[in-house]
């Protein structure tokens, strides 16, 4: 099969070359259960604790607050499970959360209110303040949208939450290691290893250790300091920590390159009649969400795949269902408009040669359909 030109980094980041091979080769020799009583197991547990310290150094957070879990979905669910102790009447969520966030609230029977937005893709700090003044509750706002790439003003949102004595939590799954994060204002957050090139199988939540309750979503064992029962996926945990170090070190140079790529991609799309969603809002340099001037995207997606390109119609959890992106509906787009959306996302290994070939493929495919 010919090499795919990959423009779907928001779905999953390609593994950092050599990282998983190195980690798994080590695991074949050092395969001990981290919870075992022998010194071999204790050494394996020590490597997990070192991974916690790596994340603590990168974020400035207490290492005791990091809990390793299996996926972003479990991380979000666990965050809410731990935060429910502070929810007396209601919680406040952005309209851009991952589907797992809303499902977790419903599953746990916790009432919540969704904040408003418009075509900027931003939530309002003043609106949140008015809600908190009348009925205080914890706030959950993801940092960057996985579809739109819009970056929410979480510094200001967290400050208004603090003003009313409420904790502020954020899903960082699309922003961690891509842009600077104001970790100091967060009472809890989540991120995922496969979004940063660490491979599948490990995600993280951080929660203020002063308020971490006994137990967790999974109970019956004392792993993860008693907050997540189940034998730790130690290879994936180590890979996540190593990938984090690499991505943080590359962040500044990577973003300069990706901003240049994004400008080229969006200039071409606009010349073909596409609309860039939330074009004038703060956005990830890696992400373009656009409404194409086409009635049906099926032929477009088939055409791009035939040319060897992987792009997306939105969130990986929704893209196969061909439903309108909830983020666009919340922003005021019609169902018909939302069904014309595509997402192009780049990352650490995207090259200018790939971008230039993408521009040609976009033009050829759109013109052939239109």
Question: Structural domain of residue 283, as residue ranges?
Answer: 5-13+250-369
Residues 216 and 265 in one domain: no
* Phi, psi angles (nearest 5°) of residue 171: -80, 115
d(CA 120, CA 277): 8
Residues 218 and 176 in one domain: yes
What is the model's pLDDT at position 192? 98
Q: How far is CA 221 from its chain centroid?
A: 28
Boundary (domain end) residue, out of 246, 263, 297? 246
Name which of 70, 2, 11 is nearest 345 in CA terms: 11
Would you say how long the chain is, in residues? 370
Contact status, residue 80 vs residue 104, Cβ threshold 8 Å: yes
What is the model's pLDDT at position 314? 62
Residues 56 and 82 in one domain: yes
Residues 272 and 358 in one domain: yes
What is the model's pLDDT at position 351? 97
d(CA 359, CA 362): 5
Return the structure tokens found at 124.
Answer: 């309002």
Q: Are strands 275-276 and 287-291 parallel, antiparallel or unpaired?
A: antiparallel
CB proximity list for 99: less than 8 A, separation 6 or greater: 315, 317, 318
Residues 160 and 298 in one domain: no
Boundary (domain end) residue, out of 246, 280, 296? 246
What is the model's pLDDT at position 33? 87
Residues 91 and 228 in one domain: yes
Residue recorded with tokens 């809990």: 67
* Phi, psi angles (nearest 5°) of residue 164: -100, 15
Name which of 358, 298, 341 is nearest 121 in CA terms: 341
Residues 43 and 118 in one domain: yes
What is the model's pLDDT at position 322? 66
Residue 181 has a CB neighbour count (10 Å cut-off) of 21
Ordered mean pLDDT values, 10 residues apiece, the chain (370 residues): 84 97 95 89 94 98 97 96 95 96 95 97 97 97 97 98 98 98 98 97 96 82 82 96 98 97 98 98 98 92 96 63 85 95 97 98 94
Q: Mutual orientation of helices 234-271 and 352-369 as an angle, nearest 10°? A: 50
What is the model's pLDDT at position 239? 98
CATH number where 227 lies: 3.40.640.10
How many separate domains does the chain show?
Answer: 2
Residues 242 and 254 in one domain: no
Residue 263 has a CB neighbour count (10 Å cut-off) of 12
Residues 168 and 260 in one domain: no
Contact status, residue 305 vs residue 362, Cβ threshold 8 Å: no
Boundary (domain end) residue, out of 193, 219, 246? 246
303 exposed, middle or buried (CB, 10 Å; 0-12, 13-18, 19+)? middle
d(CA 322, CA 298): 9
Residues 263 and 169 in one domain: no
Predicted model pTM: 0.94
């Amino acid at each position: 099969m010919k090499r795919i030109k990959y423009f779907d980094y928001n779905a999953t980041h390609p593994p950092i070359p050599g990282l998983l091979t190195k980690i798994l080769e080590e695991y074949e020799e050092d395969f001990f259960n981290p919870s075992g009583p022998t010194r071999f197991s204790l050494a394996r547990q020590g490597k997990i604790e070192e991974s916690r310290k790596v994340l603590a150094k990168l974020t400035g957070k207490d290492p005791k607050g990091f809990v390793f879990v299996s996926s972003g979905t479990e991380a979000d669910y666990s965050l809410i499970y731990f935060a429910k102790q502070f929810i007396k009447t209601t919680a406040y969520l952005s309209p851009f959360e991952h589907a797992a966030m809303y499902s977790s609230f419903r599953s746990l029977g916790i009432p919540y209110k969704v904040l408003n937005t418009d075509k900027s893709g931003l939530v309002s700090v003043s609106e949140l303040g008015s809600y908190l003044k009348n009925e205080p509750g914890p706030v959950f706002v993801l940092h960057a949208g996985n579809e739109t790439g819009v970056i929410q003003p979480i510094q200001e949102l967290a400050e208004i939450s603090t003003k009313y004595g409420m904790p502020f939590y954020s899903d960082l799954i699309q922003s961690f290691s891509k842009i600077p994060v104001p970790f100091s204002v967060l009472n809890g957050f989540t991120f995922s290893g496969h979004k940063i090139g660490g491979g599948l199988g490990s995600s993280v939540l951080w929660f203020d250790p002063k308020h971490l309750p006994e137990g967790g979503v999974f109970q019956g064992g004392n792993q993860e300091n008693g907050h997540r029962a189940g034998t730790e996926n130690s290879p994936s945990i180590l890979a996540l920590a190593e990938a984090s170090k690499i991505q943080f070190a590359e962040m500044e140079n990577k973003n300069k390159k990706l901003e240049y790529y994004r400008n080229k991609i969006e200039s071409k799309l606009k010349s073909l009649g596409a609309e860039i969603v939330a074009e004038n809002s703060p956005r990830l340099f890696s992400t373009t969400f656009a409404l194409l001037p086409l009635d049906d995207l099926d032929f477009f997606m088939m055409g791009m795949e035939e040319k060897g390109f992987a792009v997306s119609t939105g969130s990986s959890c929704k893209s196969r269902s061909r439903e309108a992106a909830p983020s666009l509906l919340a922003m005021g787009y019609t169902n018909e408009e939302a069904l014309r959306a595509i997402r192009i996302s780049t990352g650490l290994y995207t090259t200018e040669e790939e971008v230039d070939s993408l521009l040609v493929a976009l033009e050829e495919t759109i013109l052939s359909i239109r």
